[in-house]
A and B are shown apart, each in its own frame.
Chain A
Amino acid sequence: MLEGEKKLIEAAKRGEKQGFSELYNHYMPAIYRFIYMKVSHRHIAEDLTHEVFLSAWQNLPRYQDQGFPFSSWLYKLARNRVIDHYRTAKPYIDLESIDPEIAEIDQKLESALDQDFQFQLVKKALKNLKPDQQDVLIMKFIDDLSHQEIAFVMKKSEGAVRLIQHRAIQELKKELGDNML
């Protein structure tokens, strides 16, 4: 939780840009990571992250503190935005149909992590899990959220979250099979 978060939220609720700025700088990378892991595409992740924070800024006057970090609310917005994205997703574009020059530019944009073969394998396997299982693993192991926070975001009990996590890891092991040996 960000230091002095409640004051920053109150300031942002009054429309003060400074308050929102600190919240944005602190939470935006984590929300971006969460979305990127779900959509596996840098530009789509950027667009969705932008929409999440735009929605947060516009709806801040209606935000109610329920005793959880502000990030929980942002994760809820992000989850819903990703669900909407997949609901209205355009048909898949085959890689071969993309202009080679554009593909080359995209490759240059890839980070070192994108070149990490093992990470790509795990990310690919993660995509084959159920959405809830993906969410729990990303929030727990990449964004370091507590089980309590994850439970609040997902509107489930802590016990249910732990169970989803356990099953997700088993599924992930099964998906990866011998690739990780």
Chain B
Amino acid sequence: MEEKILQILKRGKGLSPDSDFKKRSYELILSLPQKPKTIFTFFKTEIRENLTFGLSLSLASVLLIIIFGGSFWNNPSQNNAAASREVVAEAERINFDIHLREARYFTESAEEVAAILDKINEPIE
């Protein structure tokens, strides 16, 4: 049945416009002017047409660099590693200061202690 319906529908290919109408309509259409291109049309067509493959490729490359570059600098694991390195360096600097202070303390206090001991050991007259 489906085939039969489609065969009947295809008979519609035999429909054709009246030849007088065809001629009259054609003449009437061509007697009217075309609409000029607007500035908007110019931008829409000309820019699109002039956007060559090379230009699109370079634009795509720039876009990729921005995307991947951005993701590299914003990578959380990279940031964490950098932060921990800084903390370790700072901790080491603190330790170093502490050691220096301790050394200075011992040097100074040792001298003082030695002086006191010398005083103690002096014979009482």
Find out whether the CB atom of A29 lies under 8 angstroms from the CB atom of B17. yes
Docked CA distance A113–B9 (Å): 11
- The reply to whether the CB of B22 lies closer than 8 angstroms to some CB of chain A is yes
- The reply to whether the CB of A164 lies closer than 8 angstroms to some CB of chain B is no
Query: Which of B9, B22, B41 is within 8 Å of A62, CB to CB?
Result: B41
Q: Encode A30-65 as 1/0 by CB contact (under 8 A) with B.
A: 001100110000100110011001100111111010
> Number of A residues contacting the other chain (C-beta, 8 Å)?
47
- The reply to whether the CB of B44 lies closer than 8 angstroms to some CB of chain A is yes
- Given A64-B44, A113-B14, A173-B1, check contact A54 B21 (CB 8 Å): no
- The reply to whether the CB of B124 lies closer than 8 angstroms to some CB of chain A is no
Majority secondary structure of chain B interface residues (helix, strand, loop or mixed)? helix
Docked CA distance A15–B37 (Å): 12
- Given A46-B25, A62-B41, check contact A142 B9 (CB 8 Å): yes
Identify which of residues 46-101 in chain B touch chain A, using a CB-to-CB cut-off of 8 Å: 48
Find out whether the CB atom of B9 lies under 8 angstroms from the CB atom of A126. yes
Find out whether the CB atom of B25 lies under 8 angstroms from the CB atom of A113. no
Q: Encode A59-87 as 1/0 by CB contact (under 8 A) with B.
A: 11110100000000000000000000000
Find out whether the CB atom of A53 lies under 8 angstroms from the CB atom of B9. no
Chain A nearest CB: distance from B50 CB in Å?
13
Find out whether the CB atom of B35 lies under 8 angstroms from the CB atom of A33. no
> Number of B residues contacting the other chain (C-beta, 8 Å)?
34
Chain A nearest CB: distance from B108 CB in Å?
87
Majority secondary structure of chain A interface residues (helix, strand, loop or mixed)? helix
**Chain-B contact segment, one of A1-9, A98-106, A115-123, A152-160:** A115-123
In the complex formed, the residue of B with least CB distance to A175 is B5
Find out whether the CB atom of A58 lies under 8 angstroms from the CB atom of B25. no
Identify which of residues 22-43 in chain B touch chain A, using a CB-to-CB cut-off of 8 Å: 22, 25-26, 28-30, 32-38, 41
Question: Which residues of chain A are within 8 angstroms of B21 by Cβ–Cβ distance?
Answer: 46, 50
Docked CA distance A111–B11 (Å): 12
- The reply to whether the CB of B119 lies closer than 8 angstroms to some CB of chain A is no
In the complex formed, the residue of B with least CB distance to A117 is B8
Chain B nearest CB: distance from A70 CB in Å?
16
Find out whether the CB atom of B25 lies under 8 angstroms from the CB atom of A61. no
- Given A28-B22, A46-B18, A180-B4, check contact A57 B30 (CB 8 Å): yes
- The reply to whether the CB of A92 lies closer than 8 angstroms to some CB of chain B is no
Find out whether the CB atom of B8 lies under 8 angstroms from the CB atom of A118. yes
- The reply to whether the CB of B15 lies closer than 8 angstroms to some CB of chain A is yes
Chosen A-B contacts, 15 in total, with CB atoms closer than 8 Å, are A32-B15, A42-B18, A46-B25, A57-B30, A59-B34, A60-B34, A112-B14, A121-B8, A141-B6, A141-B9, A141-B12, A144-B13, A169-B6, A173-B1, A173-B5
